[in-house]
Structure 1
Amino acid sequence: MKMRSLPTLLVLPAAAALVLSGCATGASGSTDSTDGGAISVVTSTNVYGDIATTVGGDLVDVTSIISDPSQDPHSYEADARTQLAVSKADVVVENGGGYDSFVDTMVDASGTDATVINAVDVSGLDPEAGHDDHADEATDAASDDATADADADADEHDDHDHAAFNEHVFYSLPSMAKLATALADEFGRVDTANADTFTANAEAFGTKIADLEAQAASIKTAHDGDPVAYTEPVPGYLFDAMGLVNVTPEAFSEAIEEGDDVSPAVLNDTLKLFTDGKVDLLAYNEQTSSPETEQVEKAATDAGVAIVPVTELLPEGEDYVAWQQSNIDAISAALGE
C-alpha cells in the first residue's frame, strides 16, 4: 500500500522549460539574486511559502506551488510556469518524508542547482520512529474494547512508511522554528549583506512560536492524557504537544490518508468511539472527505462531540502563526477551556 502524498505532478523536461523561458516568467516574477535582485524561493505549499516570506521579507521572491486551500492536491498538475520557477530558484523548500516527493521530481527535471531545504530533515524528527499518538497503549487506555480486527489491521501496516512516521511536520511548532533558522542561514549565505536581517526575522518568528508552545503546554497541564480522534494524523504533533492521546484505530486514519477503502469492522470501531463517549473531540481534515469520514463526522455531531476542522494549507488571509493560533484556540474551546 502506497503512502498518500501530495499530488504527483506533470513535470516538463528541463529542455522544455528552457524553451518556454522566452515567453513565461516565474509564478512570482522571480529574479536572479546574483544580479542584485531578490532571492528566488520556491516552496511546495503556502505553509512553507509564508515562513520563507516571514524570514526573507522583501528580500525574497516566493512562489508556492500549492497555495489555494480549495485546491484538490490529488488532482493538481504543475504547468510550465511552475516548472520554470523551479528551474530559476535559488532555494527550494519541501516538506519531505514522502509528503511532497513531486518537488524532487521537478528539481531533477529542471536541472537547477538550487539549495533544497527539507523540513523533515531540519526538524530532527526520526522518520523511522513513530509518534506518541500512535502508541498501542494509547488505544488500549481509551478504548478497552478496540477490536482485534482493528489491531490486526494496524499490525499488518506496521512496516509501512506512514505507520512509522507522521510526515505532517508543519504542525510541529519547534520544527517550524528550526526551519526558519535554516532558511535564515541559507538566505544569509546567498545574500551576505542582509544576513543579520534574516537572522533577526527568524528569531522574531521563533519568539512567536515559543508563545504558541507555551499555550500548548498550558493545555497539556489541564488535559494531559485526554482521548481524542482525527480523520487523518494532520494535527498529530500539535496533539502530542498538548498531551492529547489519539485513539482512532490506525487502520482507519491510515486508509483515509492513503485513499484506501475502510473495512466495515474498522469503520464500526471508529464510530463506536463517539457513540460510546470515548473521545473529547474530533479533528476533521477539511481538505479531504469520503463517505467514511462523513459518517465519522455525523457520529461525532450526533454524540455532541466537538469537531475541530484542520487543514494542510494556510487559510486565505492567515500567516503561519495566526493559523496555528486559530488551531490552538479551537482545540482549547473544544476541550472546554
Structure 2
Amino acid sequence: MTSTNIPKAFPLNLPEGDAELLLEELQTRLREGRRLVAEVGQILAEIESRGVRDLYGHNSIAVFYEHVARVPRAEAQRVTGRALALNSRRARDGTSIAPVAPLTGTAAATGALAEASIDRIVTVMKRLPEHVTASARLEAEKGLVELACVARPRDVTVAGTELLAQLDPDGKPKDDPAPQRRRSEFWLRQKRTGRWDMRGDLDAETGARLNALLVPRAYPAPDGGADDRSPAERRGDAFSEIVELAETGPDIPMPRKSSEQVAEQPQAAEPAEEPANRPKPAQAPPQGRQGPSRSGGVQDPARNVAHLRPARWWARLSRPRAGNPAQPPKPLTA
C-alpha cells in the first residue's frame, strides 16, 4: 500500500519565484535558531550556578549536557564553555562570577551572532592582559560584536589579532620549561617460540658504552674466511658474548633486596649467655667471596645489599681480544 503522506515542495507554503522572501525567511529561521541556542546556554549557566552534582548527580556541566543532548564530548565541552563565558553565574559560596564577554552574550541572545564568531570573540577577550582597563575591554568587545553581526568568522579572527597586537604588543611571556631528564628504558619479553624480544631507549652515555662493547665483537670472522652472518646476526652474537662474560665475571652484582623483603626476613636470635669456661666450637673457614662484616664479624643475613655496585667490568670487556690484535679501523657504530 502506497503512503499518501507525501511532503509538499514548500512546507511553509511560500510562493515560488520570490527570492527575496526565501532569503528573508531563511535569515529569520537562523536568528530564531541562534536565539534558542543562546537560551540553552543561559539554562546551562543557571544549572552550573545551582550545582549540577546536587541536581542531577553529574560531575560537570559538560558531562551532563553530553548525556542530555546526546552529543559527542567535544561538542558538549564547546557548548558549555560558550555558555559559561557569555552568562553570569554564581559560585558555590554565593559570589557572582562575571561573564568573559557580556556584550557578546547580549548580542547572542538576539540571534545575531553565529557560534563560530562567538567563540572567536571569547578567545580574544580571554587573551587580553590584565592591565587593559574595563572601558577599553568593553570598547574592544563592542567593535568585535558589531563586526561579527555582518562579517564572517575569519574576519573576526583577523580583527581580533590586530586588536591583540595593539593592546598587548608584547604578548604573554612564554614559560621556559626546565629540561626534563629522560631515564633509560629497557623492555625484555619472551615470545611463544621461546625466543626473547628486547627493545630499549638508552641515554647517550649508556648507549656509547654499549656500542663500544659491541663494535669490536661484531666484526666478521678474523681468519679471513667467508662470514655468512648478517650485520644484525654479528651484533646478536656479540651481545651474547658480552652477556656471557658479564655473567661469569667475578664482580657480578648480587641481587638487590627491597625494603619489604628485608623487613620480612627473620633477624638472627641473640645467643644465650654461656659459661666462660665452656669451649667454643671451631668455625669453618669462609667459602667464596665474603663481604665486610658489621658487628664482631657476625654476618647479618638480612643486611641490605642494595648499596653494592659492580666494578667497571665493561672497561675490562672493551679491551681488544688476544685472538684479534689488529683490526681494521671502522666507524664506531653497531
| TM norm structure 2 | 0.20
Higher relative contact order (CA 8 A, sep 6+): 1
Task: Answer 1 or 2: which has greater helix percent.
Answer: 1
Q: Whose Rg is larger? A: 2
